[in-house]
Structure 1
Amino acid sequence: MANHILCYTKLLFVSLTVCLLNACAFAPGMKYEANVPSENGRPTITPTVVEITPSLVTQIQAESAASSADTYEQLIGKPVPYRVGPGDVLSIIVWDHPELVIPNLTYVSGDVQNSTGLQGLTPRAGLTSPTAPGFTVSEDGYIQFPYVGHFKVAGESLIEIQSRLASALNEYVHRPQITVGMAAYRSKRIFVEGQVAQPGAQPLTSIPMSILEAIAGASGITPGVGDESKVQLVRAGRVYNLNLPELISQGVDLAHLYLADHDIVRVQPQAYNQVFVAGEVMKQTAVPLHDGRLTLNEAIAAANGINQNLANASAIYVIRATADPVRPEVFHLDGSSPVSLSLAEHFNLRPKDLVYVDSPGLVRWSRVITLLVPSTQGLYFGRAAGAGL
Structure 2
Amino acid sequence: MRSRASVVVPAILSVVLAGCNALPSEGPQSKQIEKTYLEKNTAGFVLVNVNRSVADYLARHQALSFGDRFGKGKPNRAELIGPGDVLTVTIWEADQTGVFASTSTADRGTIPDVEVSSRGTISIPYAGSIKAAGRTPQGLAASIAKALSNKAVEPQVHVARKEKVASVVTVSGGVGKPGLYPLSLRGDTLLDVIAGSGGTSDAAYDTVVSLTRHGEIASSYLDHVQETPADNIYMRPGDLISIEKMPRTYSAFGAVERKGNIPFGASNLNLIEAVSKASGLADIRADPTGVFLFRFEKRAAAERFSSQPIQVQGDLVPVIYRLNLRDANQYFFAQAIAMQDRDVIYVADATTVALQKFLALLGSALSPPASAVRTVNSVNTLQGN
TM range (shorter): 0.7 to 0.9
Once the 2 structures are TM-superposed, how far is the Cα of residue 13 of structure 1 from its aligned partner? 2.6
Once the 2 structures are TM-superposed, how far is the Cα of residue 89 of structure 1 from its aligned partner? 1.7
Alpha-carbon spacing, 1:150–1:55, altered in 2? closer, same or farther (3 Å): closer
Deviates most, 141-150 or 359-368: 141-150
Q: Which residue of 2 aligns with 1:172?
A: 151
Deviations 1:307-365 (A, max 9, x none): 11221122111111357599621111111233322332222111111111111122123
The amino acid of 2:152's aligned partner reads V
Alpha-carbon spacing, 1:319–1:140, altered in 2? closer, same or farther (3 Å): closer
Residue 340 of structure 2, aligned match among 350, 359, 371: 350
Describe the SS at the equivalent of 2:62: helix
Deviations 1:39-89 (A, max 9, x none): xx9865574322222332222222228x55961663524536643233322
Q: Which residue of 2 aligns with 1:58?
A: 56
Residue 269 of structure 1, aligned match among 228, 238, 245: 245
Report if aligned partners of 2:297, 2:318 keep a CA contact under 8 Å in 1.
Answer: yes
Describe the SS at the equivalent of 2:218: strand
Describe the SS at the equivalent of 1:345: helix
Q: Separation in 1 of the partners of 2:167 and 2:88?
A: 17
Map 1:109-124 → 2, pairs under 5 A: none
Residue 46 of structure 2, aligned match among 41, 45, 48: 48
Q: Separation in 1 of the partners of 2:260 and 2:126?
A: 74
Once the 2 structures are TM-superposed, how far is the Cα of residue 136 of structure 1 from its aligned partner? 3.1
The amino acid of 1:84's aligned partner reads I
The amino acid of 2:290's aligned partner reads A
Higher relative contact order (CA 8 A, sep 6+): 2
Describe the SS at the equivalent of 1:219: coil
Q: Which residue of 2 aligns with 1:123?
A: none
Deviations 1:150-207 (A, max 9, x none): 5442343323311110112212333322222212212343222344333333234545
Q: Which residue of 2 aligns with 1:234?
A: 212
Map 1:1-389 → 2, pairs under 5 A: 7-32=3-28, 33-36=33-36, 44=42, 47-64=45-62, 67=64, 71=68, 74-77=71-74, 79=76, 82-95=79-92, 98=105, 100-102=108-110, 134-139=113-118, 141-204=120-183, 206-224=185-203, 227-228=206-207, 230-242=208-220, 245-246=223-224, 249=227, 251-252=229-230, 254=232, 257-271=233-247, 273-289=248-264, 293-322=268-297, 324=312, 328-370=318-360, 374=364, 377=367, 381=371
Identical counterparts, % of pairs: 21
Report if aligned partners of 1:27, 1:365 keep a CA contact under 8 Å in 2.
Answer: no
Once the 2 structures are TM-superposed, how far is the Cα of residue 303 of structure 1 from its aligned partner? 1.4
Alpha-carbon spacing, 1:276–1:270, altered in 2? closer, same or farther (3 Å): same
Report if aligned partners of 1:35, 1:45 keep a CA contact under 8 Å in 2.
Answer: no
Once the 2 structures are TM-superposed, how far is the Cα of residue 253 of structure 1 from its aligned partner? 7.2
Q: Separation in 2 of the partners of 1:166 and 1:379?
A: 108
Matched length: 349
Deviates most, 50-59 or 322-331: 322-331
Report if aligned partners of 1:147, 1:172 keep a CA contact under 8 Å in 2.
Answer: yes
Deviates most, 43-52 or 235-244: 43-52
Alpha-carbon spacing, 1:200–1:24, altered in 2? closer, same or farther (3 Å): farther
The amino acid of 1:53's aligned partner reads N
Structure 1 vs Structure 2 CA RMSD = 3.7
The amino acid of 1:86's aligned partner reads P
In structure 2, the gaps of 5 or more residues are 94-100, 299-311, 380-385
Q: Separation in 2 of the partners of 1:227 and 1:354?
A: 19
Q: Separation in 1 of the partners of 2:167 and 2:183?
A: 5
Q: Separation in 2 of the partners of 1:140 and 1:258?
A: 26
Alpha-carbon spacing, 1:200–1:236, altered in 2? closer, same or farther (3 Å): same
Deviates most, 315-324 or 370-379: 370-379
Alpha-carbon spacing, 1:43–1:56, altered in 2? closer, same or farther (3 Å): closer
Once the 2 structures are TM-superposed, how far is the Cα of residue 383 of structure 1 from its aligned partner? 9.9
Q: Which residue of 1 aligns with 2:97?
A: none
Instruction: Choose 1 or 2 for highest CA Rg.
Output: 2
